[in-house]
Amino acid sequence: MNIVVYLGSAFGNDPVYRDKIKELGNWIGRTGNDLVYGGSKIGLMGILADAVLEAGGHVTGVEPSFFIDQCRQHEGIDKLIVTDDMFERRQTMMEMGDAFIAFPGGIGTMEEITDIISAVSLDIIDKPYVIYNLNGYYDHLDALFDHMTKEGFIPEENRAVIRFASTIDEITRVILR
């Protein structure tokens, strides 16, 4: 299975992000799955790719050409797909993915989260996804979705399929359903 992981390229301020991304990468590789991710060697992205490779998994990166121009690509991964822009990158990753995990990240990760939730809500895809709410990182997003539902902008049935997990065991139950 191709598991797409959305995440930031920064390290974050808490060392737990480094530890847990290694754990997630190890889980992906150890369970015989492959990683599809943003293709960078920078920050948490590089740690994730290295952990999957060390655990025996295969890694495909999808990176826009302007990141290649900035030498951000991970040279040690199995395959690198170069796209024209971020939009094509997100589309390619969504097409390649069999399941999706959103790890803590920044604005780009938020964009990817909303892309996948929209695609599932609109019945464009029917693939498992989960938002990894590590140490409550996405608590405010969870509350925002509740508020949007309460205010009538997200139907109850769509809200019911926005999944959050706080451990690898919970992710396993959602992704490997």
Q: How far apart are CA 30 and CA 140, in angstroms?
A: 32
* pTM score of the predicted model: 0.95
Domains of the chain: 2-172 (3.40.50.450)
Q: Is the dihedral of CA 11, 112, 67, 41 positive or negative?
A: positive
pLDDT, tens only, 37-70: 998 899 999 999 999 999 999 999 999 998 887 7
Q: How many degrees, rounded to 5, is the angle at CA 105 between CA 100 and CA 107?
A: 100
Query: How large a percentage of the chain has pLDDT more than 90?
Result: 88
Spell out the residues 6+ positions from residue 65 whose beta carbon is closer than 8 angstroms to its own.
Answer: 82, 83, 84
89-138 pLDDT per residue, tens = 999 999 999 999 999 999 999 999 999 999 999 999 999 999 999 999 99
The pLDDT, as a whole number, for residue 83 is: 96
- At residue 71 the predicted structure's pLDDT band, cuts being 50, 70 and 90, is confident
Place of tokens 């797909």: 81
CB 92 within 8 A of CB 83: yes
Given a contact cutoff of 8 angstroms between Cβ atoms, the answer to whether 26 and 4 are in contact is no
d(C-alpha 50, C-alpha 108), whole Å: 21
What secondary structure letter does DSSP report for 136?
A: G
Q: How confident is the model at residue 6 (pLDDT cuts 50, 70, 90)?
A: very high
